[in-house]
Every structure is written in structure tokens, then in C-alpha cells.
Amino acid sequence: MGPQDRYADLVEELAGIDGVEPPAGGRGFGRSALRFHNKIFAMFVRGRLVLKLPAARVTELVVTGEGEHFDANKGTPMKEWLSLDPHSGHDWSPLAHEALHFARAPR
């Protein structure tokens, strides 16, 4: 199963959770995004799963080689966004649930 199919399965899994909105499509940033009350927590960009997680967790995953800091083509890596290596051994579902939990947390 390719990354796009894996993301489609993830969308199907998470879209039934209260407050989670499936991707709206269209054009521009966030068109493939899963949102929790309008806050993006997961998206599919350039063939990779991109997740919003606490900065320390992103750094941990980057250091272990599981991905890199996401850069929205602006030349600045984002500290709370992970672009997961498509060849990573991590199961996408637990990471996406982790990102959803982070999106639910009050700030």
C-alpha cells in the first residue's frame, strides 16, 4: 500500500471522531488536512505524512531519523511540525492520534 492509500485509510479512521473534520480539498495550504475544530493536526504533503506534535516530540523523531522538521516551502523548518519519512517503520495511526491529542490540548 502506498503513502496516499495509507493517508486515505487514516482519514477514514479519524473522520468519525467527534470534532475531526476531513480534508476539504481545493487549493492551497491545508487542502489535504485533517482538522480538529479548524486546527490542522495531520496532512499529506509531497507524499509524506505531516503531523503537528509538541516540539520535543518532533525533535525526538527527527533525531532518531524517522523524519524531518516540516518546511512549508518558506525556508524555515517548523519546530512543531514533523514530516514523517515515508519509509519510517512507525505506524501512522498512533502518531496521528498523538497529533489529535495535541490539537485537543488547551493552549
Residue type, 7: Y
The DSSP result for 60-95, as a single string, is HHHHTTSEEE---SSS---TTEEEE-TT--S-HHHH
pLDDT value, residue 26: 67
In this prediction the pTM is 0.92
pLDDT value, residue 101: 97
Q: What domains sit in the chain, N to C, each tagged with a CATH number?
A: 3-104 (3.90.1150.30)
Percent of the chain with pLDDT strictly greater than 90: 73
For residue 44, with 0-12 CB atoms within 10 Å meaning exposed, 13-18 middle and 19 or more buried, which class applies?
buried
